[in-house]
Amino acid sequence: MPKKAREMSQVEQAKTCIYCGLSRPFSDEHVFPAGLGADDRRFLLKDMVCGVCNSGVFSKLETKFMRASPVAIARLYFQPTGRGKGKKASIPSINTNSTIVFLEPHGVVEAEMTAGGKLITLLQLLFLEDDKVALTGGDHVGIDVFLDALIAALENQIQVVEKIKDVVPSRFVVETFEWDGARYHSVSRETTPTLPPKRVWREPLASPPAAAATARAPTLYQRTDGQLCLRVPPSTQAGPMLTRARKAPSVFGKQEGVPYSDFANPSVHISMTIDMKDYARVLAKIGVNFVAHAYQEQYARHHAFNRIKTAILEGLSPIWLQTIPKQADAFTGVPRTRHVAMLHFTKSRAGRFHAGMVIRLYGGTTQYVHLSENALQPPDGPAILVIDYENHRIERFFDWGSFGAVYPPNVLPDFKTLDEFSLDG
């Protein structure tokens, strides 16, 4: 190939996304997810990842990772801010199927876990036996705010929306109710991809945990984001509940105090759906990003990483994830206030290497995610990232000495078992 053409082809090659291999507009990709407290502008992949992979695939995976994964609750407890710094910082939150507390005298009621692990009992109407309705919940907003929201929602027409689970793109069942002067009637029910501007969410009421002393009452509650939700058993009609709710605020009146008393150490029950496959995809993506950042783009473009990139993008092939036993954990000397990740290589065959990343988030379990079994010899020593997630600062080291000088590891890792691992098996 003439020199000019060869240069041209290298330039062309450099224009493609390191993940999908396509030539599309790039967007800056954080080496380590910003939502994990790593919004450090010095650690970006520039002109390497296309906007489609970044926003279309990775952002969605990361949102699930932040809000519904083994690290979601640790993030909520330990990390003061999500993405961004200062005034623009977001507050971490989690996605639960339900969060409930046992509250006297009404039994199990709706709650929300917020930043710092703080528990808020949500303001709610409880639909009790014998047509009784109780008003209960915490005081993070005034009772007036809740009643005003109820009155604003309980108009002559209400749309009750239920999100259909596990459907991409999102679809909703929208049921419309009309008030006839005495009660709400269902007038239509349709499945649609769009949300009505005003809505009451519908959530299924599952069986209470075995520890709960009483059966759980259906409830109409207000989440901390202001949305009203009706939680009723899947087979129950929403109309009669809405009718009871419409009549309830006048029963209580705004003047009446909240039948609520503070309580110490409530028993909390959180139910969360976790997709471990997507969890592994995010860890593997951090690994490939880290490779591209520490060992340069060309090394990360090698076909040895094609299989893992496809697994990350498509979510169809398995990703090998292993928990590192405590006695082999190299990170025990690193404080819990730091995430730590290390690229690790062991010889595989024919001069090639197993490439993987050892990672620990929020001082939790240390895990190994496998990235390749035929990587080229790495151009540098073991790369280590230490992330101060409270302050969005990342530090990188290239040898145990410099790393150890800051956070001396107690034990070096023992990866013998990984040498025996082969994806061919």
Of the pair 18, 161, the CB lying nearest Zn ion is at 18
Give, as one character, the DSSP assignment of residue 340: E
Of the pair 246, 281, the CB lying nearest Zn ion is at 281
Question: Of 46-54, 67-75, 148-156, 157-165, which segment contacts Zn ion by CB under 5 A?
Answer: 46-54
Question: Of 9-17, 138-146, 285-293, 364-372, which segment contacts Zn ion by CB under 5 A?
Answer: 9-17
What SS3 class is residue 342?
strand
Question: Of 50-58, 190-198, 202-210, 233-241, which segment contacts Zn ion by CB under 5 A?
Answer: 50-58
* CA gap 36, 72 in Å, rounded: 10
Question: Of 11-19, 302-310, 332-340, 377-385, which segment contacts Zn ion by CB under 5 A?
Answer: 11-19
Give backbone dihedrals phi and psi of 131, rounded to 5 degrees, phi first.
Answer: 65, 15
CB of 341 to Zn ion, least distance (A): 22
Of the pair 22, 268, the CB lying nearest Zn ion is at 22
Residue 305 as a binder of Zn ion (CB under 5 A): the answer is: no
Of the pair 50, 383, the CB lying nearest Zn ion is at 50
* CA gap 154, 136 in Å, rounded: 19
Question: Of 32-40, 43-51, 231-239, 292-300, which segment contacts Zn ion by CB under 5 A?
Answer: 43-51
Task: Report DSSP letters for 109-178, one per residue.
Answer: EEEEEEGGGEEEEPPEEEE-GGG-EEEE---SS-HHHHHHHHHHHSSSEEEEEEEPTT-SS--EEEEEEE
Considering only residues 338 through 357, tell me which ones interact with Zn ion, judged by CB under 5 A. none
Which secondary structure element, helix H or strand E, spans residue 13, and what is its range? helix 3-14
Residue 313 as a binder of Zn ion (CB under 5 A): the answer is: no
Size of the site for Zn ion (CB under 5 A): 5
Residue 50 as a binder of Zn ion (CB under 5 A): the answer is: yes
Considering only residues 256 through 275, tell me which ones interact with Zn ion, judged by CB under 5 A. none
Of the pair 19, 362, the CB lying nearest Zn ion is at 19
CB of 19 to Zn ion, least distance (A): 5
Rounded to an integer, what is the distance from CA 300 to the centroid of its chain? Answer: 27
Of the pair 53, 294, the CB lying nearest Zn ion is at 53
Residue 20 as a binder of Zn ion (CB under 5 A): the answer is: yes
Closest residue by Cα to residue 230 from 188, 270, 208, 200: 200
Q: Within 10 A of 344 (CB to CB), how many other CB atoms are there?
A: 23
Give the C-alpha distances (Å, rounded to integers) separating 347 from 290, 365, 369, 424. Answer: 20, 25, 16, 16
Rounded to an integer, what is the distance from CA 365 to the centroid of its chain? Answer: 17
Residue 103 as a binder of Zn ion (CB under 5 A): the answer is: no
Q: Which of 31, 38, 48, 53 binds Zn ion (CB under 5 A)?
A: 53
User: Token match 């109780």: residue?
Assistant: 134
Considering only residues 208 through 227, tell me which ones interact with Zn ion, judged by CB under 5 A. none
CB of 313 to Zn ion, least distance (A): 8
Of the pair 26, 146, the CB lying nearest Zn ion is at 26
Closest residue by Cα to residue 237 from 166, 182, 163, 183: 183
CB of 26 to Zn ion, least distance (A): 9
Question: Of 48-56, 109-117, 264-272, 317-325, which segment contacts Zn ion by CB under 5 A?
Answer: 48-56
Give the C-alpha distances (Å, rounded to integers) separating 261 from 270, 295, 331. Answer: 22, 58, 45
Of the pair 19, 368, the CB lying nearest Zn ion is at 19
Question: Of 16-24, 84-92, 348-356, 377-385, which segment contacts Zn ion by CB under 5 A?
Answer: 16-24
Closest residue by Cα to residue 285 from 304, 306, 307, 313: 313
Binding site for Zn ion (CB under 5 A): 17, 19-20, 50, 53
